[in-house]
């Protein structure tokens, strides 16, 4: 196989026009084609979501249990029928987990980690992380004047059910306090600290960022609340719950705010674009050299490869001792000399 | 009194330096001074929030009932002690209502309407409205790709407990469906319409904007829900409630999103800056001419004055017949010829 | 003809799906079709730009002189062949001028004014103006810290060769000084004023906005400079020229900056979206009622119609007496009561 | 000396409140104090810029020649008088060069590299670089629609007189062609390539980024042009000159645009904030440990220290072979495996 022509990710037109055109073919997967293929979660389909073209016999052959189907044989057929010789799988937990299945089934495949949670095992960086932090910091800082003029404690919820990277790094660049899923915390001590911040800040406000999955000692994180007056059950929102607790303990008005809705869209920042472009080209290099079953990565501050994330290990989490100051509810700022640019080494 | 020097709002330095300097004095109200003055809501203080310097006898003299105090006499003293000859009161409902009290007490005063809700009686425009719509539209449009890639119905909650201006005008400029507090609506019909939007849209998503106070026929808007697993009571969030109802009726995944947190901060757009600067200069003109007890306004598309909003009339609300298409859950787009730039005439 | 279905401009999908679908057909004009049609400036083609499909005989019949052709007969044929019964012409000077030609030739046509210069005769507003001012203000304000840290006079060039609306309104909302094409100005007086601003400003900087076409008494605005070391002739840039003159006169460092490149792109603000949507719907209303040969407009702060801009009158210009303070190189801020929202009445 | 309290850069209030307060004192240098101190370029003052308080005798003692003075003795006195025991010098070429002088004179000092040019010897990153690229990419991409609708070649000038990092990295993330000061280039070949891009791009436009100091073979970069009709001499603007040359060679309309004015202001992105905060804390660590005469740095993708940039070596420049594809006027995209996150290793 000839080496593919080198270029940036957006240079698709140029790619298509090159004399290596034969190595690239665009497969547009509109909704109709998708219905004829398999859909999301190919190895765990309910009966109700089986593709309409599947015969009952064929389905039965792929049943794992009464109402669970693994359509991987179908996926492998489709890959062959579409003439896909090499696959680049881009995504987070779900995508990379299924990439492992395809790799085991013999598909030639390179994975690229992409999730704002930045919690994929084996890499210090996943596409989307830097832009999420850039945006979160901007949104948070924009609310400082409002918090100051109402003299409130601002509680900002950010995604991160199992890992606190987004909460921690937003706190790092915005100089804010934060709580993360990796550490059960003492709510009274946090409340006291924020009350002191509020008192000492010349504009009389304070800020804490909470990851979705960060809970305090004694609390029970519930996925389902009681039915409300609308007749619905709501998921408990940890930001609103924390804001209520802080108000009860400090007597200071609190405001629960979200850093979620607006982070999933918009322009990537330069680091994100740089890593995405570089991962793409490394993936092309790997494929050209016949590599398969690996993931592009950043390790020790350098571009590297890593194995596909192993099954059952769960997401990467924050190294609390190295990165989090439990006493002060802050990122640790000391002892950074020798560490990689994004502060934590995965080697 | 000499006419004040003309300028834009930000030209404070220039103002101070001018030969009319004597007409302007900056009174910085830091937290300490504020504690010595009165605080918010001067005519409805609880005992716990009385300023610490107030003697019990003085307080008793201003008691309205057991635990309610009207500190207006104190406010009038402070205004006199600070040597304030003319007051410009800028704000929404609460501010303008208390401006009425001061006006009745003989304070020379011009009011300027400022609230993103744009619901002050007597004016077509309040400072903040245009920037809120600009920002809301930008945030909403940014989420279209996410909604499309997950093929969801997006439910965007925006402020507006009594009046639907922000919901309606965001819908107008973003070409979206909306529900407003002024009209109880048929949830089944809305669900059917959104399901059709979702089906027909090439990217298979749909959008509806709900004002905070918009509720459907048969629903009971509750301020307090049941205690959840955290032991808290949550206010019912109409966006999340509507999203749940729509999912139940259409079977389509929904996403409840907020257009609130980020609208209260950031740079004003040009219309907002233009109106704010012009209102400020009209207020200066009025004061120079000895005017008092009036509010700057836009009426029939032109700068005007209006009486202070009368007591007990509540906020201005959307003229449903002129502006809202009840059948299609949309702003009305026809018959705009002859109407003022912001579409509704207050004359 | 049936009235078209009402909606916002972006609701194209909905438009297509409606039962009035037959009234709307999308004509995509890619580059190839455009080559087969006529191209820009149909009434003033050079021989070199004649469409390739045109026979020499046909071209000769449309020649105005040796090397100038009026292809209007061809345009009329194309309109008929494409089955276009009603045309909505959106644009500034050039577009509206040719709209007049088509109108005279009997084409049913409604015009919509769109130019950031906001200088079309007969309307107070052209699409694009508000967004340009919003963006210009943001860019200008962002440079205040840099100007202050270097203690410079900032000279901001903005478009406007004949009319100073963009310079004037940016100055209005940013509280800056400005010079406009409508007034030849005294450079020494401007320099003295800016030196005083620079001295009195606590951060020691000053700002002036110059329209492209604003020149001082005694200057000669040249379109072509001398050849430089690259062997090229450059257009004189009025911003750089003014910056050099101010430095020579005040001894203060100046910085010439541009408010042009970035204004022609990006998201419209809410006023712009509102007017664009409303103009579009008024145009649809007019067509449905059989109106032709008119332009949508804002007059006296209200949506209106106006005649197509008359030939030979040139662009609308700033009413200097009403809007510009010649002494202080500033917009006038006084006497706005009774004026339309955008301050100048075209009635 | 006690170790300073750990925190983020913005946590100044917290710093001041800590029990280590005695280690931190804020010296506000307003304009008046600055005049009494020394001003910029302390080792190369002209007579006209000597501080007013300096006696002729004292000045004479510090004269290097007829009209050149080295005020370093004065600076050392001021440092002592202000009680500054440790200095953190933040800046680019000029600042770091004078830091070397102070270091040689025995001042305890840690340097932090900060320049959008990213061209300081000994480090892969200088504060400001990432935000500049993020902003440049955003501005450039925003102009794609305008370039496409006018079918032009866009020439974007960006700073970088000696080093092409900003041009190269903007090109990397925006997938554009670029020319840099490190390589004299063949203008005809560039023109041919851009004409081909323009032809093949479905929207018929093309883009090239030129660093300020990038010039083609045969061109003479002039600092001073001929006097123009205003009587001024203008610096040759390489962007406008290149645009003119490209138009002459290709016959395609070109647009010269700037990526300079708007890059020097606005919010930092997350990488910039992260590095700035980390550099600040490393500097505090170094001082606490008694380190002096070193610079914080990123080397091989990790936080490190480096010697102060040596005299006379000039700025760091792009490693052309590793980073630039001379044939294609593009960054090199291949062979990135093993390289640090920002692609070039300084070790």
In whole angstroms, what is the distance from residue D161 CA to residue D242 CA? Answer: 15
Chain D residues with CB under 8 Å of C225 CB are: 225-226, 228-229, 234
- HSE at residue A107, side-chain half, CA atoms within 13 A, is 24
* CA angle (C53 as vertex; C50, C54 as ends), nearest 5: 55
Closest chain D residue to A276, measured at CA: D173
SS3 B9: coil
Continuous segment of H or E residues that includes residue B303: strand B302-307
For the cut 60, the answer to whether the pLDDT of residue B17 exceeds it is: no
For residues A260 and A192, give the distance between their C-alpha atoms in angstroms, rounded to a whole number. 27
Segment B165-205, tens digit of pLDDT: 999 999 999 999 999 999 999 999 999 999 999 999 989 99
Percentage of chain C lying above the pLDDT 90 cut: 65
Q: Which of the residues A286, A341, A344 would you substitute to probe the D interface, choosing the one with the greatest number of D C-beta atoms within 10 Å?
A: A341
Q: How many CB pairs under 8 A join C and D?
A: 92
Helix (H, G, I), strand (E, B) or coil at A178: strand
Kindly state the tokens that stand for D14: 């917290």
Pick the residue from chain A with its C-alpha nearest to D11: A175
pLDDT in the model for residue C237: 80
Going by pLDDT thresholds of 50, 70 and 90, the confidence category of residue C230 is: very low
- pLDDT category at B26 given cuts 50, 70, 90 is low
Minimal-distance CA residue of chain C relative to B129: C270
Task: Give residue-wise pLDDT tens across range C290-305.
Answer: 989 999 999 999 999 9
pLDDT digits (tens, 9 = 90+) for B106-162: 999 999 999 999 999 999 999 999 999 999 999 999 999 889 988 999 999 999 999
A221 reaches B (C-beta below 8 A): yes
B335 touches chain C (CB under 8 A): yes
Q: Which of B145, B220, B257 sits opposite A229 (nearest CB)?
A: B220
Whats the size of chain D, residue-wise?
347
Q: Whose CA is closest to C315, among C186, C81, C145, C123?
A: C123
CA distance C347 to chain B (A): 13
Enumerate the residues of chain B whose CB falls inside 8 A of the CB of residue C148. Answer: none
Nearest to C261 among D143, D222, D226 (CB): D143
Distance from CA of A36 to the nearest CA of B (A): 17
Q: Is C24 on the interface with D (CB under 8 A)?
A: no
Q: Does A174 touch chain D (CB under 8 A)?
A: yes
For chain D, which residues score pLDDT lower than 50?
A: 1-22, 223-234
pLDDT digits (tens, 9 = 90+) for A17-45: 333 334 456 666 666 566 566 667 788 88
Of D227, D228, D265, the CB nearest to C142: D265
Selected residue of C341, C342, C346 to mutate for chain B interface (largest B Cβ count, 10 A): C341
Largest distance between two CA atoms of chain B: 72
Name the percent of chain C lying above pLDDT 70: 84
Of B117, B200, B228, B319, the active-site residue reads B117
Q: Which residue of C has its CA nearest to D215?
A: C230
Subunits that touch chain D (at least 3 Cβ pairs < 8 angstroms)? Answer: A, C
How many whole angstroms separate alpha carbon A156 and alpha carbon A242? Answer: 10
How far is the C-alpha of C280 from the C-alpha of C293, rounded, in Å? 15
For residue A235, pLDDT beyond 60: no
User: Closest Cα partner for B317 from B226, B223, B183, B171?
Assistant: B183
Predicted confidence (pLDDT) per residue in A79-123, tens digit: 998 888 999 999 998 899 999 999 999 999 999 999 999 999 999
Q: Rg of chain C's alpha carbons, rounded to an integer?
A: 23
Give the one of C204, C241, C265 whose C-beta lies nearest to D232's C-beta: C241
pLDDT score of B222 more than 60: no
Give the integer Cα–Cα distance in Å for D158 and D174. Answer: 14
Inform me whether the pLDDT recorded for A293 exceeds 90: yes
- Chain B nearest CA to A19, separation (Å): 33
- Inter-chain contact B145–A265, Cβ cutoff 8 Å? yes
- How close D345 comes to chain A (CA, Å)? 10
Which of C4-8, C202-206, D323-327, D328-332 is the least confident region?
Answer: C4-8
Contact A341/D301, CB-based, under 8 Å? yes
Task: Quote the tokens at residue D318.
Answer: 């792009």
Q: Which residues of B touch C6 (CB under 8 A)?
A: 325, 332-334
Element (H, E) at C155: strand C153-158
Judge whether residue B224 has pLDDT over 80: no
D31 touches chain C (CB under 8 A): yes
The region of weakest confidence among A196-210, B176-190, B227-241 is B227-241
> d(Cα A147, Cα A81) in Å, to the nearest integer?
58
**Which value does ipTM take for this structure?**
0.88
Q: Report yes or no: B7 at the C interface, CB cutoff 8 Å.
A: yes
Q: Considering only CB atoms, which chain C residues are within 8 Å of D245?
A: 230, 232
With CA atoms as reference, report the closest residue to A175 among D169, D273, B178: D273
**Whether B and D touch (3+ CB pairs < 8 Å), yes or no:** no
Give which of A3, A333, A340, A345 to mutate to test D binding, by max D Cβ within 10 Å. A333
End-to-end CA, chain A: 32
Catalytic residues of C: 117
pLDDT greater than 90 at residue A223: no
**How far apart are the CA of C12 and the nearest CA of chain B, in angstroms?**
10
- Chain A: residue whose CA lies nearest to B216: A230
Closest CA of chain C from B290, distance in Å: 15
Residue closest to A269 by CA, chosen among C11, D134, C137? D134
Q: Please list the alpha-helical segments (H only) found in B105-203.
A: 129-142, 144-150, 165-174, 187-200
- Tell me the mean pLDDT in the region C206-222: 87
Q: Which residues contact A300 (CB under 8 A, 6 or more apart)?
A: A124, A340, A345, A346, A347, D301, D302
The answer to whether D37 touches D54, Cβ cutoff 8 Å, is no
Q: Whose structure tokens read 């509280």?
A: C175
Q: Is the pLDDT of residue A4 over 50?
A: no
Chains C and B touch (3+ CB pairs under 8 A): yes
CA nearest to B128 within chain C: C270
- Please tell me which of the candidates A7, A273, A334 has its beta carbon nearest to residue D333: A7
CB atoms B261 and A258 under 8 Å:
yes
For residue D302, give the nearest of A275, A301, A325 by CB distance: A301
- Could you please report the per-residue DSSP string of B79-103? HHHTT---EEEEESHHHHHHHHHHH
Decide if A37 contacts A29 (C-beta within 8 A): yes
pLDDT tens-digit series, residues D150-185: 899 999 999 999 999 999 999 999 999 999 999 999
Contact A341 D9 (CB under 8 A): no
Question: What residues of C are in contact with residue D114 (Cβ under 8 Å)?
Answer: none
| Three-class DSSP category at B73 | helix
Predicted local distance difference test score (pLDDT) of residue B264: 79
Say if residue A228's pLDDT is above 60.
Answer: no
Distance from CA of D161 to the nearest CA of A (A): 22
Mean of all residue pLDDT scores within chain C = 85
List, as ranges, residues 32-91 from B with C-beta within 8 Å of C: none
Q: Which two tokens stand for residue D204?
A: 């018929």
Q: What is the mean pLDDT of residues C22-42?
A: 62
Distance of alpha carbon C307 from alpha carbon C100, whole angstroms: 10
B342 and C341 within 8 Å at the Cβ level: the answer is: yes
Query: What stretch of H or E contains A307?
Result: strand A302-307
Mean pLDDT score across all residues of chain B: 85
D265 Cβ contact list (under 8 Å, min separation 6)? C142, C143, C145, C146
Gap between the Cα atoms of B284 and B304, Å rounded = 14
Answer yes or no: is pLDDT of C235 > 80: no
**For residue C26, what pLDDT is reported?**
63
Edge-first strand order for the sheet with D87-91 is: D87-91, D109-113, D294-299, D302-307
Query: Which chains lie within 8 Å of chain C at 3 or more CB pairs, if any?
Result: B, D
Q: Which residue from A130, A278, A281 is facing D271, i.e. has the nearest CB?
A: A130
- Which ranges of chain C does DSSP label H, i.e. alpha helix? 12-17, 31-36, 56-61, 72-81, 93-104, 129-142, 144-150, 165-174, 187-200, 238-250, 270-288, 320-323
Asked if C199 reaches chain B (Cβ–Cβ under 8 Å), the answer is no
A224 versus A145: which is more confidently predicted? Answer: A145
Helix A270-288 to helix D270-288 angle (10° resolution) is 100
Pairwise CB contact (< 8 Å): B269 & C273: no
Could you tell me the pLDDT band of residue C221, with boundaries at 50, 70 and 90?
low
pLDDT tens-digit series, residues B65-95: 888 999 999 999 989 988 889 999 999 988 9
Confidence (pLDDT) at D8: 39
**pLDDT digits over B290-317, tens only?**
989 999 999 999 999 999 999 888 899 9
């Amino acid at each position: 196989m000839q080496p593919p022509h080198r270029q940036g990710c957006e240079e698709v037109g140029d790619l298509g026009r090159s004399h290596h055109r034969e190595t690239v073919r665009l497969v547009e997967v509109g909704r109709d084609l998708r219905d004829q293929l398999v859909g999301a979660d190919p190895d765990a389909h309910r009966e109700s979501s089986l593709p309409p073209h599947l015969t009952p016999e064929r389905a039965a052959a792929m049943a794992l249990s009464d109402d669970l189907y693994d359509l991987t044989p179908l996926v492998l057929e489709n890959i062959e029928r579409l003439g896909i010789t090499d696959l680049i799988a881009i995504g987070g937990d779900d995508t990379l987990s299924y990439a492992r299945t395809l790799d085991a089934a013999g598909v030639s495949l390179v994975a690229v980690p992409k999730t704002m949670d930045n919690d994929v095992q084996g890499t210090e960086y996943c596409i989307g992380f830097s832009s999420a932090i850039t945006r979160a910091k901007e949104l948070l800082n924009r609310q400082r004047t409002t918090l100051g003029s109402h003299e409130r404690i601002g509680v900002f919820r950010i995604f991160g059910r199992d890992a606190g990277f987004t909460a921690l790094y937003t706190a790092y660049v915005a100089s804010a306090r934060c709580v993360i899923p990796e550490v059960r915390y003492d709510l009274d001590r946090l409340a006291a600290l924020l009350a002191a911040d509020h008192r000492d800040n010349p504009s009389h406000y304070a800020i804490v960022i909470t990851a979705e999955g960060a809970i305090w000692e004694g609390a029970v994180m519930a996925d389902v609340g009681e039915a409300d007056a609308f007749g619905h059950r709501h998921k408990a929102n940890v930001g609103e719950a924390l804001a209520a607790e802080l108000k009860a303990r400090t007597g200071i008005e609190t405001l629960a705010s979200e850093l979620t809705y607006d982070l999933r869209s918009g322009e990537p920042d330069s680091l994100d674009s740089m890593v995405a472009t570089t991962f793409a080209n490394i993936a092309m290099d790997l494929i050209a050299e016949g590599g398969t079953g690996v993931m592009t990565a950043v390790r020790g501050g350098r571009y590297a490869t890593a194995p596909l994330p192993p099954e059952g290990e769960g997401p990467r989490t924050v190294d609390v001792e190295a990165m989090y100051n439990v006493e002060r509810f802050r990122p640790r700022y000391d002892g950074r000399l020798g560490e990689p640019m994004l502060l934590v080494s995965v080697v």
